[in-house]
Protein backbone atom coordinates (compact mmCIF):
# COMPACT_ATOMS: atom_id res chain seq x y z
CA UNK A 1 0.00 0.00 0.00
CA UNK A 2 2.61 2.56 1.05
CA UNK A 3 6.18 2.58 -0.20
CA UNK A 4 8.49 0.70 2.12
CA UNK A 5 10.23 3.03 4.57
CA UNK A 6 13.60 1.56 3.68
CA UNK A 7 13.29 2.92 0.15
CA UNK A 8 11.19 6.03 0.70
CA UNK A 9 12.59 8.02 3.59
CA UNK A 10 12.02 11.42 2.08
CA UNK A 11 10.81 14.41 4.11
CA UNK A 12 7.66 14.29 1.98
CA UNK A 13 6.87 10.75 3.09
CA UNK A 14 7.68 11.66 6.72
CA UNK A 15 5.25 14.55 6.56
CA UNK A 16 2.57 12.44 4.86
CA UNK A 17 2.69 9.90 7.67
CA UNK A 18 2.69 12.56 10.34
CA UNK A 19 -0.43 14.09 8.80
CA UNK A 20 -2.06 10.67 8.70
CA UNK A 21 -1.41 10.13 12.44
CA UNK A 22 -2.78 13.57 13.18
CA UNK A 23 -5.95 12.96 11.15
CA UNK A 24 -6.67 9.62 12.83
CA UNK A 25 -6.01 10.93 16.35
CA UNK A 26 -8.09 14.04 15.77
CA UNK A 27 -10.93 11.86 14.52
CA UNK A 28 -10.91 10.09 17.91
CA UNK A 29 -10.64 13.47 19.63
CA UNK A 30 -13.74 14.63 17.78
CA UNK A 31 -15.74 11.48 18.41
CA UNK A 32 -15.23 11.40 22.20
CA UNK A 33 -15.87 15.09 22.82
CA UNK A 34 -18.17 16.46 20.14
CA UNK A 35 -19.72 13.07 19.38
CA UNK A 36 -20.20 11.22 22.67
CA UNK A 37 -20.09 14.31 24.89
CA UNK A 38 -22.35 16.62 22.88
CA UNK A 39 -24.13 15.40 19.73
CA UNK A 40 -25.11 11.97 21.03
CA UNK A 41 -24.97 12.76 24.76
CA UNK A 42 -28.75 12.69 25.03
CA UNK A 43 -29.15 9.18 23.65
CA UNK A 44 -26.04 7.87 25.42
CA UNK A 45 -27.52 9.10 28.70
CA UNK A 46 -30.03 6.25 28.43
CA UNK A 47 -27.13 3.94 29.21
CA UNK A 48 -25.62 3.85 32.71
CA UNK A 49 -22.03 2.93 33.35
CA UNK A 50 -22.56 -0.34 35.27
CA UNK A 51 -22.18 -0.02 39.01
CA UNK A 52 -22.20 3.79 39.00
CA UNK A 53 -24.72 6.58 38.76
CA UNK A 54 -23.09 8.03 35.64
CA UNK A 55 -25.27 8.44 32.55
CA UNK A 56 -22.83 7.63 29.72
CA UNK A 57 -23.17 10.86 27.74
CA UNK A 58 -22.77 12.99 30.87
CA UNK A 59 -19.72 10.95 31.87
CA UNK A 60 -18.08 11.45 28.49
CA UNK A 61 -18.73 15.18 28.67
CA UNK A 62 -17.35 15.66 32.19
CA UNK A 63 -14.80 12.85 32.62
CA UNK A 64 -14.22 10.43 29.75
CA UNK A 65 -13.30 12.91 27.04
CA UNK A 66 -10.56 14.39 29.25
CA UNK A 67 -9.00 10.97 29.92
CA UNK A 68 -9.03 10.20 26.21
CA UNK A 69 -7.39 13.57 25.42
CA UNK A 70 -4.46 12.70 27.69
CA UNK A 71 -4.08 9.27 26.09
CA UNK A 72 -4.19 10.75 22.58
CA UNK A 73 -1.27 13.08 23.23
CA UNK A 74 0.92 10.33 24.64
CA UNK A 75 0.04 8.01 21.74
CA UNK A 76 1.10 10.76 19.35
CA UNK A 77 4.36 11.27 21.27
CA UNK A 78 5.22 7.58 20.99
CA UNK A 79 4.25 7.37 17.29
CA UNK A 80 6.24 10.45 16.39
CA UNK A 81 9.35 9.52 18.33
CA UNK A 82 9.32 6.24 16.44
CA UNK A 83 8.70 7.96 13.12
CA UNK A 84 11.47 10.51 13.76
CA UNK A 85 13.96 7.73 14.36
CA UNK A 86 12.74 5.68 11.41
CA UNK A 87 13.29 8.58 9.07
CA UNK A 88 16.48 9.70 10.75
CA UNK A 89 15.13 13.16 11.51
CA UNK A 90 15.22 12.95 15.30
CA UNK A 91 17.20 15.64 17.00
CA UNK A 92 20.96 15.48 16.71
CA UNK A 93 22.70 14.68 19.97
CA UNK A 94 25.50 17.02 20.82
CA UNK A 95 26.95 14.78 23.49
CA UNK A 96 29.95 12.94 21.92
CA UNK A 97 28.97 9.51 23.26
CA UNK A 98 25.48 9.73 21.85
CA UNK A 99 26.78 11.00 18.51
CA UNK A 100 29.00 7.92 18.26
CA UNK A 101 26.07 5.67 19.09
CA UNK A 102 23.90 7.43 16.55
CA UNK A 103 26.50 6.98 13.81
CA UNK A 104 26.68 3.29 14.58
CA UNK A 105 22.94 3.03 14.45
CA UNK A 106 22.54 4.89 11.19
CA UNK A 107 25.15 2.83 9.37
CA UNK A 108 23.03 -0.26 9.93
CA UNK A 109 20.91 -0.93 6.79
CA UNK A 110 17.55 -1.11 8.50
CA UNK A 111 14.15 0.55 8.39
CA UNK A 112 12.10 1.87 11.28
CA UNK A 113 12.19 -1.50 13.02
CA UNK A 114 15.94 -1.17 13.51
CA UNK A 115 15.50 2.30 14.85
CA UNK A 116 12.94 1.10 17.28
CA UNK A 117 15.07 -1.57 18.86
CA UNK A 118 17.96 0.83 19.25
CA UNK A 119 15.57 3.48 20.49
CA UNK A 120 15.43 2.14 24.02
CA UNK A 121 18.56 4.04 24.88
CA UNK A 122 17.32 7.26 23.32
CA UNK A 123 15.70 8.65 26.44
CA UNK A 124 19.00 8.24 28.25
CA UNK A 125 20.90 9.93 25.45
CA UNK A 126 18.78 13.01 25.75
CA UNK A 127 19.67 13.77 29.35
CA UNK A 128 23.20 15.14 28.98
CA UNK A 129 21.97 17.67 26.46
CA UNK A 130 18.83 18.59 28.31
CA UNK A 131 20.85 19.93 31.20
CA UNK A 132 23.46 21.70 29.08
Partner 1 sequence: MTVLAWTFTLVAASFALYIGIAIWSRAHSTHDFYVAGKGVHPVANGMATAADWMSAASFISMAGLISFLGYDGSVYLMGWTGGYVLLALLLAPYLRKYGAYTVPDFVGDRYYSQTARVVAVVCAIFVSFTYVAGQMRGVGIVFSRFLEVPVGLGVLIGMGIVFFYAVLGGMKGITYTQVAQYCVLIFAYTVPAIFLSLLITGNPIPQIGFGGADAETGTYLLDRLNGLHEELGFAPYTAGTKSTLDVFAITAALMVGTAGLPHVIIRFYTVPKVRDARVSAGWALVFIALLYTAAPAVAVFARTNLLSTVSGRPYAEMPEWFTKWETTGLIAFEDVNGDGRIQYVGPEATDGGGAPLQNELTIDRDIMVLANPEIARLPNWVVGLVAAGGLAAALSTAAGLLLVVSTAVSHDLLKRSFRSTITERGELLAARISAAVAVLVAGYLGIDPPGFVAEVVAFAFGLAASSFFPVLILGVFSKRLNREGAIAGMVSGITLTAAYIVYFKFVNPAANTAEHWWFGISPEGIGTVGMLVNFAVALAVSRLTPPPPDHIGELVEQMRIPRGAGEAHEIEA
Q: Mask: binding to partner 1, 71-90, rule CB under 8 A, as x and -?
A: -xxx-xx--xx--x----xx
Residue closer to partner 1 by CB (options 54, 118) is 54
Interacting residue with partner 1 among 9, 13, 17, 54 (CB under 8 A): 54
CA–CA distance, 45 with 49 (Å, rounded to integer): 9
Stretch that binds partner 1, among 1-9, 53-61, 101-109, 111-119 (CB under 8 A): 53-61
Smallest distance from partner 1 to CB 108, Å: 18
Q: Does 8 bind partner 1 (CB under 8 A)?
A: no
- Could you give the 3-state DSSP secondary structure of residue 48? strand
CA–CA distance, 108 with 132 (Å, rounded to integer): 29
Instruction: Answer for the pair 73, 107: CB distance below 8 angstroms, yes or no.
Output: no
Smallest distance from partner 1 to CB 120, Å: 15
- Could you give the 3-state DSSP secondary structure of residue 55? strand
Residues in the chain: 132
Amino acid sequence: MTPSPATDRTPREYWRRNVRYVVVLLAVWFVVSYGAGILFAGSLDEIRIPGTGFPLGFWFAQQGSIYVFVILIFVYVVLMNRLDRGFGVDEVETHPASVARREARRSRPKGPAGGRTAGGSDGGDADPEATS
